[in-house]
Homo-oligomer: A and B are copies of this chain.
Amino acid sequence: MQVPSLSISRRTRKTPFSRRVQEAGVKAYTVYNHMLLPTVFESVEEDYKHLKSKVQIWDVSCERQVELWGPDAGRLAQMLTPRDLSDMALNRCYYTPMVDETGGMLNDPVTTKLAEDKYWVSVADSDLLFWIKGLAHAFRLEVDVDEPDVSPFAIQGPQAEDLVARVFGERIRSIRFFHYDYVEFEGQRMVLARSGYSKQGGFELYVDGSKWGEPVWDAFMEAGADMDVRAGCPNLIERIEGQLLSYGNDMTRNNTPHECGLGKFCQTQQAIGCVGRDALLRVAVEGPVRQIRSVAIDGDPVPPCNELWPIIGGGRQVGTISSAAYSPDFRTNVAIGMVRMTHWDDGTKVQVDTPHGMRSATVWETPFCNQGGPE
């Protein structure tokens, strides 16, 4: 299949960084939250090598914020997620599975607590705003729910901390994983968190006001010129190696957080008020019957995974692959799939029905990036 073009309209929104992204030679996009998300600069493989050795700046504006603001903001936030938010501190961001009344995943955002009455929910690709607004309205909560003009900008890679320290000072080195602090950019206060959609380490700056997009981009490019800083983007290979899930790809409304391996982010018993609590209490205790796994698929590089590929074990279907790519470092195809408990143990041999034919494969509980191995 020939690679198709993307038709861009106002509906596929540009970002505060779009001009810089184009100048940097972006080759492909996806659409995420009705917004452009770059997917390739040099090539997925070149981008990957650079991300794992240097530092990149990413336009992840498409990770839109849903702001909850008002006396009922905290109550509403807890309604959304089985993660216990009761002790959340004012310098924290949490990875938060969000579920409906059946326990089905609606999104897997990063939630930042800015004040007792103010939260930002940094959403993956679904209009979670609509669900939140529906609940807030029908439950008559005293809270304002809206999308502010805030655009995340990620600095990722092994040299990310050094680059961010050049721009915002040494103090940022003491920000811990999934904590945040405030920084000033040309007098504008912004949230800087140690987080990001890679396992290479780094930060996310919540750029507060579109007008700061290009100045922020330019400041990082200048500060990192001698570090070979480049425009990058979430990298398909790297995120699969790290088992970072993608909503809509690796999970949908049909999955519970526990199936997604996100049970560690749920304290369902404690999450009083969560609308999915009743539905999840049982699965929280008994565990799911299928779960997310890393899968190594043997043989030549597989084509892009744009629909579920069956996983076969003992002659019948025991799961589905939802993301796959060839990993230069692991010298195999790395993949993410949902596997039934009969075949989810570490090292289980299975087969995957790819568009390039049936392939032998191995199921792994640990993400590739924590396996050591050929890297």
Q: Is A370 an interface residue (CB 8 A)?
A: no
Q: Mark A125-149, 1 if CB is under 8 A from B, else 0.
A: 1111111111101110000000000
Give min CB distance, A134 to chain B, whole Å. Answer: 2
For the complex formed, measure the closest distance between the CB of A12 and the CB atoms of chain B, giving whole angstroms. 6
Question: Is A275 an interface residue, CB under 8 A from the partner?
Answer: yes
B27 close to A5 (CB less than 8 A): yes
Which chain B positions have C-beta within 8 A of A133? 100-101, 131, 134
Report the Cα distance A45→B249, complex, angstroms.
35
Q: Are B30 and A12 in contact (CB under 8 A)?
A: yes
Report the Cα distance A275→B133, complex, angstroms. 12
CA distance A130 to B12 in the complex (A): 20
Q: Is the CB of A6 within 8 A of B9?
A: no
Interface assignment of A200: CB less than 8 Å from any CB of chain B: no
Q: Which of A14-59 contact B (CB under 8 A)?
A: 14, 22, 26-31, 34, 39-40
Residue contact B248 to A125, C-beta cutoff 8 Å: no
A323 close to chain B: CB less than 8 A: yes
Choose from B29, B106, B129, B275 the contact partner of A7 (Cβ within 8 Å). B29
Name the prevailing secondary structure of the A interface residues.
loop
Closest residue to A12 on the B side, CB-wise? B30
What's the Cα separation between A10 and B130 when bound, in Å? 23
Q: How far is the CA of A8 from the CA of B248 in the complex (A)?
A: 12
Residue among A29, A30, A134 with the highest chain B CB neighbour number at 10 A: A134
**Shortest distance between the CB of A309 and any CB in chain B (Å):** 10
Q: Hey, which chain B residues are within 8 Å of A101, CB to CB? A: 133, 137
| Residue among B3, B14, B138, B308 making CB contact with A307, cutoff 8 Å | B14
30 contacts between A and B (CB under 8 A): A1-B22, A3-B5, A4-B5, A4-B6, A4-B27, A5-B5, A7-B39, A7-B40, A7-B304, A8-B306, A9-B30, A9-B305, A9-B323, A10-B248, A10-B249, A10-B305, A10-B308, A10-B322, A11-B30, A14-B306, A30-B31, A100-B133, A101-B137, A126-B130, A128-B130, A129-B130, A131-B131, A131-B133, A137-B138, A138-B139
- Chain A interface (Cβ < 8 Å from any Cβ of B): 1, 3-12, 14, 22, 26-31, 34, 39-40, 100-101, 106, 125-135, 137-139, 246-249, 275, 304-308, 322-323
